Amino acid sequence: AVLYVPCDAAALAVGADRVADTLAEELSARGVDAQIVRNGSRGMHWLEPLVEVETERGRIAYGPVTPADIAGLLDTGLLEGADHALCHGLTEEMPFLKRQTRLTFSRCGITDPLSLEHYEAHHGFLGLKRSLEMTPAEIVQEVTDSGLRGRGGAGFPTGIKWNTVLKAQGDQKYIVCNADEGDSGTFSDRMIMEGDPFVLIEGMAIAGIAVGATKGYIYTRSEYPHAIAILHDAIQIARKAGILGPSVMGSEHAFDMEVREGAGAYVCGEETSLLNSLEGKRGIVRAKPPLPAIEGLFGKPTVVNNVMSLASVPIIMDRGARFYRDYGVGYSHGTIPIQLTGNIKNSGLFETAFGLTLNELIYDIGGGTLSGRPVKAVQVGGPLGAYFPPSLFDTIFDYEAFVERNGMIGHAGIVVFDDTVDMLKQARFAMEFCAIESCGKCTPCRIGSVRGVEVLDRIARGDQPEQQVELLTDLCDTMKMGSLCALGGFAPYPVMSSLTHFPQDFHVKPLTDA
């Protein structure tokens, strides 16, 4: 029999290692010859540790499993996929998975993350192989035609970025993968790095061949120790197999990469700050221009892409631009791995084509709040994303639709709050977060965020709230327009959306023109 117990950090955090150990002990005590594969996560976090067993009918899921459940599960026929209180039937038929369109995450949770054999058996390296038969310009064109946009948050067209680097002059070019994933409520980068690292390696190799870069760096945070360990191993395996190195899969292209750890500063997820940190300097933002695409790492032309953008490239190159482009709505093509967190029943990762409404995501897929209380607000796009009230839950997941409503999808994290949340406190948190994480380079952010906290504290004390709200609005405008990077520039979004949609929490009358 083949059993699966995830090695993803979210599963480990709730005891997956102990479950795997107990399972191994029980199986050997019963003299059963079974293999335990440590797979990535399927992304149904409320069911972790999710144990699966391979049967003739397909894989059957059980969860959440604790070590104390193992003996009972084996007694009732776990190895045959027998029914049990923890059994969810065929994994692929579970509604949360069945409703998804898994392109980027097609292998995650299915394979052993470090098995090249598994990777190749599930369409691995087909995108790279096809790329090796194309010219760099053709690869860039294919990515451009796919409509893929930067999944880190800004949504800039990936192909256009690659084209700038392809055309830039430089004796050395780099591919930098932004794996800093600082947004609250997001974990898609981590999940793919832990659950399917070869897809990121393949995506980076394709990027390297496309723009003429021979060296790649994955910049991630020290809070991701499991991802770092898996990436180190995966890179070594890929090198040994001739996927990375002086001749990528026997071609004339050279490409190699390494992993670098940051110390967890939020601003190091901003691309220029990240580049400074990668160069061993303080993580402080650089003014743009020059764009990193022209003068990036060590002053050389550099592609800086988020993990999700790079991990989406192999399937685009394998199935073609048209295949990918046909998913989605408007100018948001393809799929997006949405991360549902906070006060929500079904928390986890849901990859789907753009176009679902917040209502569908929060209620139909997420199952509403975990507390059972009414939803009061959701924050989309990290700590600097806007808060949306239920009256805006008809907004569809699409870059432009969110911008139209003064929000952003960012890295696609949705954090749900029930009616016990105090939006004034959430607004204060945003300003405080900005004050703590500010790199200090520009005044609107460095000073503005501190003043913002003070103003919000005065509102909380009931000290001339109407006047303070006016001051806050003015301050937010200054930060939005005058900040050098997105940290100071976006901090006003959670603040102003809280104030606009929940004026009662600020003890003021509704704003009319905000």
Contact residues toward ligand NAI (CB under 6 A) are 150, 152-154, 156, 160-161, 164, 181-183, 186, 269-271, 291-293, 304, 306, 381-382, 408, 410-411, 485-486
Identified binder of ligand SF4 from the candidate list 79, 303, 484, 496, rule CB under 6 A: 484
At 322, list the tokens.
Answer: 């048209």
Question: Could you tell which of ligand SF4, ligand NAI, none binds residue 102, using a CB distance below 5 to 8 A set by kind?
Answer: none
Give the range of 377-385, 408-416, 484-492, 503-511 binding ligand SF4 by CB under 6 A.
484-492
Among 186, 438, 473, 478, binds ligand SF4 (CB under 6 A): 438
Q: Quote the DSSP letter at residue 287.
A: P
Residue 409: CB minimum distance to ligand NAI, A: 8
H-helix or E-strand containing 332?
strand 332-333
Query: Which phi and psi (to 5°) does residue 150 adopt?
Result: -50, 115
| Nearer of residues 184 and 369 to ligand SF4, judged by Cβ | 184
In the complex, least distance from residue 114 CB atom to ligand NAI, rounded to whole angstroms: 25
Pick the binder of ligand SF4 from 11, 268, 485, 499 (CB under 6 A): 485
Helix (H) or strand (E) holding 127: helix 126-132
Angle between helices 197-211 and 158-167 (to 10 degrees): 40
**In whole angstroms, how large is the CA radius of gyration of the chain?**
24
Nearer to ligand SF4, 304 or 321 (CB): 304
Residue 295, contacted partner among ligand SF4, ligand NAI, none, CB below 5-8 A by kind: none
Find the shortest distance in angstroms from Cβ 429 to ligand SF4.
17
Chain positions 258 to 297 lying near ligand SF4, rule: CB under 6 A, are 267, 285
The site partner of 292 among ligand SF4, ligand NAI, none (C-beta below 5 to 8 Å per kind) is ligand NAI
Check binding of 488 to ligand SF4 (CB under 6 A). Answer: yes
From the CB of residue 407, how many other CB atoms can be counted at a distance below 10 Å?
Answer: 23
What DSSP element (H or E) covers 339? strand 335-342
CB nearer to ligand NAI: give 116 or 154. 154
Residue 34 CB: number of other CB atoms within 10 A?
Answer: 18
Q: Are 510 and 503 in contact (CB under 8 A)?
A: yes
Q: How far apart are CA 177 and CA 262, in angstroms?
A: 13
Residue pair 7/225 in contact (Cβ under 8 Å)? The answer is no
Strands 348-353 and 87-90: unpaired
Nearest to 193 by CA among 9, 415, 469: 9
Residues that bind ligand SF4 (CB under 6 A): 267, 285, 438-442, 445-446, 483-485, 487-488
